Amino acid sequence: MSNLNITIFDFNSKLDISNWRVVNDSVMGGASEGNFKTNAPGHGVFYGKVSTENNGGFSSLRYRFSSIEIKNFTEVVLRVKGDGKQYQFRIKDSLKNSHSYVTVFQTTNHWQTIIIKLSDLYPAFRGKKLQMKNFSSTTISEIAFLIANKKTEAFKLEIDKIYLQ
């Protein structure tokens, strides 16, 4: 078993963010406006405003990539700086699946290292928890951040690095 980490994305060294995509609730008629950019220090910045108008209420940031073999890893580590709000971190083991595996994390106004056990990620689709086992796959093909706190609010999440350990 390997003790090495696998970096999924390091914003300090990999500034091509073309594979990162914002998906707002406008896909279902909502009015939320999420954006994504890199800032001067090179961090990814997911920011905008969530609106509950028209039954909306979410903004997400997704990163798809060639499938990564993760059988030797048990945790995903997020190095982020938030705004005191709660966010979801989401994984897809296959892009063929409509569901994601989800956990919630609380941010502060300071840089945090958030360690998430892969086995703690629960299956969900469109905000509903599914009656399936928690994440147990050996691959991942997408990660995402989502804000959906059931209220209209501005948000900002800076992302430094995401890796497996």
Long-range contacts of 37-43 (CB under 8 A, 24+ apart): 38/11, 39/158, 41/12, 42/11, 42/12, 42/15, 43/11, 43/12, 43/81, 43/158, 43/159, 43/160
Taking only the tens place, the pLDDT of each residue in 8-28 is 999 976 678 999 999 999 988
Structure tokens at 8: 């999924």
Query: Alpha-carbon distance 157 to 145, whole Å?
Result: 9
- Judge whether residue 50 has pLDDT over 50: yes
Mean pLDDT of 96-111: 97
* pLDDT number for residue 1: 41
Mean pLDDT of 123-142: 96
- Judge whether residue 129 has pLDDT over 80: yes
Structure tokens at 148: 């959906």
Query: Alpha-carbon distance 71 to 152, whole Å?
Result: 39
Mean pLDDT of 50-66: 95
Contacts of 128 (CB under 8 A, 6+ apart): none
* pLDDT number for residue 4: 81
Q: How far is CA 9 from CA 55, 101, 147, in A?
A: 33, 19, 20
What 3-state DSSP class applies to 22? strand
User: The pTM is what?
Assistant: 0.94
Taking only the tens place, the pLDDT of each residue in 68-78 is 999 999 999 99
Q: What are the residue ranges spanned by the domains of the chain? A: 6-164
DSSP string, 124-160: EETTEE-SSPPP--SEEEEEEEEE--SS-EEEEEEEE
* pLDDT number for residue 2: 46
Strand-pair category, 111-117 with 75-81:
antiparallel
**Beta partners for 100?**
124
* pLDDT number for residue 48: 98
- Judge whether residue 35 has pLDDT over 90: yes
Q: Which fold has domain 6-164?
A: Jelly Rolls (2.60.120)
